[in-house]
Amino acid sequence: MARKTIIEECDVLVVGGGMAGTGATFEARHWGRDLKIVCVEKANIDRSGAVAQGLYAINCYMGMQWGENQPEDHVRYARNDLMGLVREDLGYDMARHVDSTVHMFDEWGLPMMKNKQTGRYQREGKWQIMIHGESYKPIVAEAAKKSADKIYNRIMITHLLMDETNENRVGGAVGFNMRTGDYYIFKSKTVIVAAGGASHIFKPRAVGEGMGRTWYAPWSNGSAYALPIQAGAKMTQMENRIVLCRFKDGYGPVGAYFLHLKTYTQNANGENYEKKWYNQTKELVGEYIDHHPTPTCLRNHAFVQEVMAGGGPIHMVTKEAFQDPHLETVGWENFLGMTVGQAVVWASQNIDPKYTNPELTTSEPYVMGSHATCSGAWVSGPEDLSPPEYFWGYNRMTTVEGLFGAGDTVGGSAHKFSSGSFTEGRLAAKAAVKYIQEQKANNIKVSDKQCEDFKTMIYKPLENYTVGRNEITGGTVSPSYISPIQGLQRLQKIMDEYVGGISVNYMTNENLLKKGLELLDWLQEDLENVGAEDYHQLMRAWELKHRTVTSQCVTEHTLYRKETRWPGYYYRGDHMKLDDENWHCLTVSRRDPKTGKFTMEKMPVYHIIDEKEKKEAS
């Protein structure tokens, strides 16, 4: 079938218009007044990404103007929460700029809550400030729309184009419009990937009629990882998946409950179960259990152990706080801003938290680089902070020339959240413009053949379906193709059972991981035969392919790190203890684009912040 092809040439191409993508689009215009800036989004940037529904708090704000926190404090906080392993150059760089981002949100009209006594932003916790955030995403989208030459909505990017004169330099991206089916070629001097994290790679707790209900955005399908991985970019800390403790069945957030409402957890007998697991945890991780605040994974660990020991269900004690009418209102409003579904779940289960303590649970694992976890691309840091192993010319550039990342895409720098992701988008865009201005993007060659080959590949699932359905004599199951949902469930089962998901209480080991890799290989092969009956299913097919590549990378990393660094996120049953002697390092992988094989290496962790202070003191 003849298909329309649209070719767009630009200087800066932003893939994904979520928090990081809108930040990148906005900042690219500031530094590149005369450049052509294009943002391509799978949904519609007004309501896309993890912040689509809104947020109730901005989780990363230093408050430097009031002396509340300094970037150094944030680096120490993130390092502690990630059990010692973060890229401190990236974290510091984000933290020193994040306040200016939040001040712009304020100027742009985001309703911020203020402390009536001090006039400062209302704190929810040490790092969080409270907002009326239903309009958060449309506000940042407006800034991007005013900055871009063009925003393309409803286009899913499936592949990066590569320069044919330098195989390690990017040349743009291709994708398709999910409504019209048109093929889009974006030839670009630089590409900033800001395509969010990865949900639905592990089997979710919500299956059957609840399928699609996840904690992280269900449409975050790992493109942020698959695109750079397939282009041969190095990745880091992909084993560091995150498991969240959330209100059961609705995945409602607990941050405001702990921090603002001062609610607390207890087991079914009303006991503080966390204390019970102190000695056992100390055996596994040593002094890390004595750190303050207790690292998120270790709190999860106590939860998981208590449930396995028969102490469940675990409850959030809300009955006390909800006696205060103000706190009761805050408790409910917390969901209205971002997870209204939790209130609906409670209504359906007859739970009024004023009279019944609601249940908590631990989620299936997710992969992302902006929340309390740091999976993602291995990128260059800023020139003034980064040691040689962390610096190769342009801030937030991956190991592929001209290919930048921001937000969930970037590894090693946890706790950026919405404001930090927008900030990182700004940093990446500034560097991308510099890369162009310094003539690093000259003479990129992308042939028609490369674009035509991708076109054939992208639409193949439609072809598979059109041909294969003729073989079906009854029902919907084809002997020749699998549907995206069948492929997704197969992927989730492999990841769940072999790579440490919910049904095995996050446990895995070398044998399981090797078997998982083998099964993922078979799945990859079968995905050549995925069938799509329409453009929406074509999107599902490509989401699945991106999720599968991401999963392979996660599994390779999990196999490589021979210790249990983050009990509560996952366990290596054959190496149950944290091993600082051998594994106080970052893991880095690269997939060879020609062979599809991964190679792994260790990279040093530099505690830059404290070393800097020691030097200044001496």
Please work out, in degrees rounded to the nearest 5, the angle formed at the alpha carbon of residue 51 by the alpha carbons of 47 and 55: 120
Cβ proximity to ligand FAD, 17 vs 311, nearer residue: 17
Q: Is position 50 an interface residue for ligand FAD (rule: CB under 6 A)?
A: yes
572: left (phi over 0), alpha (psi -120 to 50) or beta: beta
Asked whether the beta carbons of 251 and 342 are under 8 A apart, the reply is yes
Residues 6+ positions from 193 with CB-CB distance below 8 Å? 15, 16, 223, 224, 227, 228, 377, 403, 404, 405, 406, 409
Residue type at 36? Answer: K
Q: Is position 15 an interface residue for ligand FAD (rule: CB under 6 A)?
A: yes
Give the nearest distance from C-beta 320 to ligand FAD in angstroms: 24
Asked whether the beta carbons of 423 and 444 are under 8 A apart, the reply is no
State the Cα–Cα distance between residues 509 and 575, nearest whole angstrom.
Answer: 8
State the Cα–Cα distance between residues 333 and 340, nearest whole angstrom.
Answer: 9
For the CA atoms of 230, 432, 604, 564, what is the dihedral angle to 10 degrees?
-50
Cβ proximity to ligand FAD, 458 vs 462, nearer residue: 458
Residue nearest to ligand FAD (CB): 18
Q: Of these, 353, 358, 407, 568, which contacts ligand FAD (CB under 6 A)?
A: 407
Q: Which helix (H) or strand (E) holds 192?
A: strand 183-193
Q: Of these, 25, 48, 267, 492, which contacts ligand FAD (CB under 6 A)?
A: 48
- Number of Cβ atoms within 10 Å of the Cβ of 135: 15
Give the nearest distance from C-beta 336 to ligand FAD in angstroms: 13
Per residue, the 3-state secondary structure of 232-279, as one string, reads CCCEECCCCCECCEEECCCCCCCHHHHHCCCCEEECCCCCCHHHHCHH
DSSP state of 120: S
Window contacting ligand FAD (CB under 6 A); options: 50-58, 482-490, 517-525, 547-555 = 50-58
Q: Is position 408 an interface residue for ligand FAD (rule: CB under 6 A)?
A: yes
Cβ proximity to ligand FAD, 512 vs 554, nearer residue: 554
Give the nearest distance from C-beta 134 to ligand FAD in angstroms: 13
Q: Is position 196 an interface residue for ligand FAD (rule: CB under 6 A)?
A: yes
Q: Is position 185 an interface residue for ligand FAD (rule: CB under 6 A)?
A: no
Window contacting ligand FAD (CB under 6 A); options: 181-189, 192-200, 465-473, 605-613 = 192-200
- Residue 186 phi, psi (nearest 5): -110, 105
Q: Is position 216 an interface residue for ligand FAD (rule: CB under 6 A)?
A: yes
Q: Is position 35 an interface residue for ligand FAD (rule: CB under 6 A)?
A: no
- Number of Cβ atoms within 10 Å of the Cβ of 438: 11
Cβ proximity to ligand FAD, 16 vs 84, nearer residue: 16
**Which of positions 331-370 make contact with ligand FAD (CB under 6 A)?**
338, 370
Q: Is position 191 an interface residue for ligand FAD (rule: CB under 6 A)?
A: no
CA distances from residue 99 to 60, 105, 422, 428 in whole angstroms, order as listed: 8, 10, 11, 17
Length of the chain: 618
Window contacting ligand FAD (CB under 6 A); options: 39-47, 430-438, 475-483, 523-531 = 39-47
Q: Is position 417 an interface residue for ligand FAD (rule: CB under 6 A)?
A: yes
Give the nearest distance from C-beta 488 to ligand FAD in angstroms: 16
Give the nearest distance from C-beta 309 to ligand FAD in angstroms: 29
Window contacting ligand FAD (CB under 6 A); options: 352-360, 396-404, 412-420, 559-567 = 412-420
Q: Is position 273 an interface residue for ligand FAD (rule: CB under 6 A)?
A: no
Asked whether the beta carbons of 412 and 84 are under 8 A apart, the reply is no
Q: Of these, 11, 27, 41, 556, which contacts ligand FAD (CB under 6 A)?
A: 41
Residue with tokens 């999910």: 178
Q: Is position 548 an interface residue for ligand FAD (rule: CB under 6 A)?
A: no
CA distances from residue 240 to 75, 285, 606 in whole angstroms, order as listed: 18, 16, 18
Window contacting ligand FAD (CB under 6 A); options: 36-44, 94-102, 109-117, 518-526 = 36-44
Cβ proximity to ligand FAD, 193 vs 451, nearer residue: 193
- Binding-residue pattern over the window 68 to 107 for ligand FAD, x denoting contact by CB under 6 A: ----------------------------------------
Give the nearest distance from C-beta 468 to ligand FAD in angstroms: 25
Asked whether the beta carbons of 466 and 186 are under 8 A apart, the reply is no
Q: Of these, 92, 219, 404, 498, which contacts ligand FAD (CB under 6 A)?
A: 219
State the Cα–Cα distance between residues 539 and 312, nearest whole angstrom.
Answer: 40
Q: Is position 418 an interface residue for ligand FAD (rule: CB under 6 A)?
A: yes
Give the nearest distance from C-beta 369 to ligand FAD in angstroms: 7
Binding site for ligand FAD (CB under 6 A): 15-21, 40-43, 48-51, 55-59, 156-157, 194-196, 215-217, 219-220, 223, 253, 338, 370-371, 407-408, 417-419, 421
